[in-house]
Structure 1
Amino acid sequence: MAWVVGTGAFLGLMAIALGIVTLRTGWILPTARRHVTRPQLHGLGALLTGASVVLQGLFFFRLLPSVSWEARFFSGNALLFAGLLLIALSQLLPLRRNPNHADPSGV
């Protein structure tokens, strides 16, 4: 069981790293570039999703002070669903259009 949680925590760290890279540079994985219209939302969603998985792993290995299982369950699920919602919104919301730059001819 420990290797499953350890693998999940590693993938959570990877999601956090990708979220930081997306927030700082706007770079998105090539497989998701075509779908993502708002990179900032995508990066924040990746951070929240990764943090949820890493925190659950830290609680499992008892590296953080233990809290009740209800608090761990509901806070972990809240972070996970908030992150997934932000990732979904980053793909579903339309592109932002700046009305000042709509006409390139300058007329």
Structure 2
Amino acid sequence: MEDVFIALIVVPMIFIGLPWVILHYVTKWKTAPTITADDEVLLEELYNLARRLDERMDTVERLVASDDPAFTPARRLIADQEKDNQQLRELEALIAEKKGIRS
């Protein structure tokens, strides 16, 4: 009796429940919003702004260090690490490629 009861529960779960869950999440994934052209432009502007601000921060730190030899800059991301620079080069190449395609 228990085997029949278990079979009546497990079989519908496998053949109805599992495909329903999979198809539900596939549909959610396909209807999820993607990045728009406006979003790409905004991200590019934010990236350029962050890069300019980082350059300004380096300049300010250099000026303060020249005035005060005891000054030590705050610990932040180091722009001269090769692994970071490689990622930035890849990002800049993608941006340049996108601009080349759109032009």
User: Which TM bucket (shorter chain)?
Assistant: 0.3 to 0.5
Larger-Rg structure: 2
TM-score by length of 1: 0.34
* Larger proportion of helix: 2
TM-score by length of 2: 0.35
